[in-house]
Amino acid sequence: MVANIIFKRNMNIGTGAAENDGEFLSECFLETPEYKSVLDFEDKKMILLGRTGSGKTAIINMLEKDVDVFISVKPDTFALQYINNIPFIKGMKDEGINLEIFYKFLWLHEIISNIIKQYFAYNRKDFFKAFTEKLCSNTRIAQLKKYLDEYGNIFFEERSAQIITTEIEKKLAAELGFADFAKLRGTLSERQKQEIQTKASQCINSTQINQLKNVISLLKEYLENNKQRKIIVTIDDLDQNWVDDDAKYKLINALLDAIRLFVDVPNLKIIIAMRADLLAKTCKIMKRQNEKDVAFTLKLNWTRNMLIDLLNKRVNFLVYHKYKKNVKVNFKDLFDCEISGIKGYDYILERTMMRPRDAISFVNLCIAESDDADAITPAAIIMAEKAFRHDRLNSLSHEWANNYPNIMTYIQTVYVLGNKFSYNDAIANYKDVEGVLLSSNKNDDTIVEMFLSCEKDDNYCKTANIKKLLNVLFMIGIIGKEDIDGSIVYSTPNQPILNELDYIDDIKFVIHPLFAKHVSKIAA
């Protein structure tokens, strides 16, 4: 019994999803080194990288209380669907003409207009007054005034992105000599497409992009003289269905290029949160060099002790504040029992993927299984584990659906090999692994297609297939590899995938404890 508590199934330590975590997030937030890095305006890291449930959105939600001006740019409200369906733009896109410079302009415009509206004033007069009183850059201010005279209240209108897109369309149509791509569909030569590409880039670069760079330069000078207020612009939910997949990677690639223009602006940080796999796929599809972003990337890594600290905060908040028990209770107090010779708290942590959402969810399920009890028993933990395993499998399937729709089948292949197996074991059991994979009804899957296309006697192909399958299983967290000291290493932001050296010397792999086949023994 802990602090005379009777557990109820409606008790919990928060939701694990930052957008719905309310009081627990604000009261129990753990200020990790990554959070402090985000708040350090001398630190130029802008890409917050982590798996689903690693705390990206929690960090973004907590920033609002620690900065003077907090701006959230939501991709799904950014009119990108509208712009992509403008006939002129859609026609260029359908003809395979690269619109990356246009997408870069849209991001720059959206970020700058939000800064101007929220940091300065909501009208043009006050905006110019702030600039002219503080700056000596009369030439650049005059250029900006001319730009605004031409396009109206470009930074202040709610539909400014659509308005200026229409203006660009008119300019390009006049420059190119035609506006209706529908009539030209399929008739353009590669030379004509290249000419359109060049003129479109020149048009957008010479007017919109250059003028926005001028605004950034003015912002830099202004904020160097006004260091009292700090600004953070956040962009989250890039992995959601905010635009079609065909455009998503182009837009993300353009965003990654756009935010670099703000690096030298003092007291301003642009923070974009994204999954590691989304960045990797963007780099692959857009042939983007990973090295370009390394210096600006902040990877979210959680240690065992950090998770314990987080759970301690939440458990104590539940007991002390919610149930008015004047006693300090921590995570280990609630789970000081044994399962198969393992302490309950270790048992739980071993079955998470070292992410806050996993740990919070598992603990909540344990509490729910302890309804009307005065202690969380090993039996309750084992019952909760079944529900947690089911939830995690569903989450993994959802998280990786676009890249690997047959995740559940992949896991079945591992059970052919056993809870612990070597790389050579996987090669030796190729036929059994192949049989499980090809039993899937989904053929729109890169792994399944690789196995389907492999000739019967092509050993090189079989080896490549096993390596690819093991790499995916490691990346999504289903298996870990045994290190030279006997410890098990799972995928982390610092080492998200296996490399060639991980297959030499007959490396050993183990199924993650949550997914392994076993019978847990409850201590008497």
Task: Please give the Cα distance from 123 to 153 (Å, whole number).
Answer: 8
Task: Please give the Cα distance from 314 to 27 (Å, whole number).
Answer: 8
Question: How much is the pLDDT for 520?
Answer: 45
Task: Please give the Cα distance from 201 to 101 (Å, whole number).
Answer: 6
Three-state SS for 221?
helix
Q: Which pLDDT tens digit goes with each residue over 352-376?
A: 999 999 999 999 999 999 999 999 9
Task: Please give the Cα distance from 410 to 73 (Å, whole number).
Answer: 37
Q: Which tokens in the block code for residue 273?
A: 């949160």
φ/ψ (deg, to 5) at 98: -65, 120
Residue indicated by tokens 């056993």? 418
φ/ψ (deg, to 5) at 482: -80, 125
Closest CA to 430 of 472, 406, 461: 461
Q: Which pLDDT tens digit goes with each residue over 132-161?
A: 666 666 777 777 777 776 666 677 666 676
Question: How much is the pLDDT for 76?
Answer: 76
Residues 6+ apart with CB under 8 A from 427: 462, 463, 466
Please list the ranges in the chain whose pLDDT falls under 50.
519-524
Residue indicated by tokens 């240690």? 303
CA distances from 345 to 159, 312, 349, 409 (A): 53, 11, 6, 31
Task: Please give the Cα distance from 447 to 237 (Å, whole number).
Answer: 27
273 DSSP assignment: E
Residue ranges of domains in the chain: 33-299, 318-399, 407-511
DSSP lists the bridge partners of residue 297 as 47
Question: How much is the pLDDT for 121?
Answer: 64
Task: Please give the Cα distance from 285 to 512 (Å, whole number).
Answer: 30
Closest CA to 400 of 496, 305, 488, 467: 496
Q: Are 149 and 268 in contact (CB under 8 A)?
A: no
Residues 6+ apart with CB under 8 A from 10: none
Task: Please give the Cα distance from 498 to 469 (Å, whole number).
Answer: 11
Task: Please give the Cα distance from 340 to 58 (Å, whole number).
Answer: 35
Q: Are 374 and 6 in contact (CB under 8 A)?
A: yes
Closest CA to 329 of 382, 279, 375, 262: 375
pTM assigned to the model: 0.87
- Dihedral sign (CA 40, 45, 47, 51): negative
Helices (H), 29-96: 33-39, 56-63, 80-84, 87-94
Q: Which tokens in the block code for residue 9?
A: 């199934």
